[in-house]
Structure 1
Amino acid sequence: MCSSKGLSVFVFVFLLLLHGNCIEFEVGDTNNLTKGWQVPPLNHPHVYNQWAQNNRFKVNDTLHFTYKKDSVMVVTDSEYDKCKCSQPLYFSNNGDTRVVLDRPGLFFFMSGVTGHCERGQKMIVKVLDVETPPQSHHKNAALRLIQMKPIMIGYFLLYFTLSFILDFIDFIKFFEQVLYEIFLL
């Protein structure tokens, strides 16, 4: 009986670790000043930093940049300040870029198109270390469950379904063995 429970726990933990509790953020302003990654309006040059400050980023979250005829670069803080970079830490110009925030700390983003960074198409993202959930706060646990992506809820349902099926199979095997012993005697 232990082997099927062990298997269901292993499957659940594997799926949980595989997906984690990360979020994909669409880069852009929520006040409709910008759509995706583009040069912000002249009267709102800090729109991307304001957007970043309004979000809470954790290790393994993803930033999704959508843009046309532009690029995304991850640069150092000094390159960010100068709006000049000849060798970025990361570069993409495919119009649909995803960047995984793989460590805690600051990430510096800017457009690679000449003049765009100077006009405000740049952003600093602060990434927090993965937090450990509180042990006794039921409100926080319920809130985290509500905030989970649907796929995580699917993993929970899969785990409990597998656990039920494996327990049922164990019960049938046990019942079959009891009947066998009764009628064999």
Structure 2
Amino acid sequence: MGFATHPDVNEIIQVAGYLFWNPTDLSNEAGWGTKLGFCSGGIIFSPNYKIATFRQEETGVEVYKKIYLGCAPVLTAVLKNWNSTLLERLFPGLSSGGAVEFPGSIPAGTDLSAYSHALIFVPQDTDNHPCLLFQKACPNIVEASKLKFSHRDPTVFPVAFDGLRKSSSTDGIAYFGPLSGAVLR
């Protein structure tokens, strides 16, 4: 048995794009915010959708109910290029002038959610590929990061952004879909 139809090559999504910090207007690039860097390999969006599953008492096997508990979305990416603004976002209190100094001026125990703003991933092809908008994103470098400096391979920067709920918004944390449908809240 074979398949009668296969997806059109345009239906297979391979999305490269840019991360922008603190957008103010999504209608054109001028309002998308500060460009943080290019993701040639795209991004990884983990909705982290949590549910509780209840099973029948008698057997403990058959599922009779599922309850939605919430989600904790995360965007991860490997940036091929970056700028000093990205370093300032990833290392609040640690960066100045495009350099990072440790330990810096931010003490352990600092509430990093205070450094959150909107974040949008804009694909190169905005007509055919989805964007991802976090209404409030808390940036961090991937904990197990190792930055490789090599003559042969490009130095890449692994980043992660946790989606947080804005206290003034009940409209959600993240939007995944056409850029034309994205709305800043």
TM-score range (shorter-chain normalised) is under 0.3
TM-score by length of 2: 0.25
Instruction: Flag the structure with higher helix content.
Output: 1
Higher strand fraction: Structure 1 or Structure 2? 2
The structure with the larger Rg is: 1
Higher relative contact order (CA 8 A, sep 6+): 1
TM-score by length of 1: 0.25
